[in-house]
Structure 1
Amino acid sequence: MALAGGGGVLLGAFGAHALRGRLDAAAMEWWHTAVEYQLWHALALALAVHAGRGRAGRIAEVAFAIGIVLFSGSLYALALGAPRWCGAITPLGGIGFVVGWIALGRSLSLSERS
């Protein structure tokens, strides 16, 4: 969770300073989207770790982590010139995010009943 958040900050700064002027506008947009989703889901991962309970909480944690790696990772790769087929990985990360949110909601609703 801390690695996801701290890494997002570092990658955002890297994109804003080291990559500006080196990447075209589309690549910079991919980079920005990757950072934004990484940071939001680092927060979601932190919530899942601290508030999630039981199996649903663990599923949320894993799904958010996988989502960050696949979604943001594939966008970072595309921005840096990876082959276009890497774009096929991005939706898998998005599915991870959706699964994470559903599992987190389930986990939180179960903990309210306890």
Structure 2
Amino acid sequence: MTLRGSILRLGDAFNPVVMAAAGLPVVGNRIRSHIAPITYTGRRSGRTITLPVGYRRSGDAVKIAVAMPDQKTWWRNFRGEGAPMSIQLEEKRTGHAVAHRDERGRVEVVLQLDPT
């Protein structure tokens, strides 16, 4: 099995656990302040995909640092001009997300939230 395959299988097992823990009363508040589910439509598959990501919010911008970007594919849906994305914060918010890769290979997806 390749490293990419191992990471994808780990994510398949880990993501539901994180989402379930976020729903717990005490620990959930702490998790939800740093991890939230995003939802988007796959560029090629057309499928609706939801997965938890770590985020930082500053006003109407939500920044998502992509760990090990070469081992993941979801962020590639937001290259170029980007695409719509929603995130479950205190409430579900929608916006437009764009992925940026810096000269060191790090990837950050910036979601600009729509006005409420």
TM-score, with normalisation over the residues of structure 1? 0.30
Higher helix share: 1
More strand by share: 2
Higher RCO, Cα 8 Å, sep 6+: 1
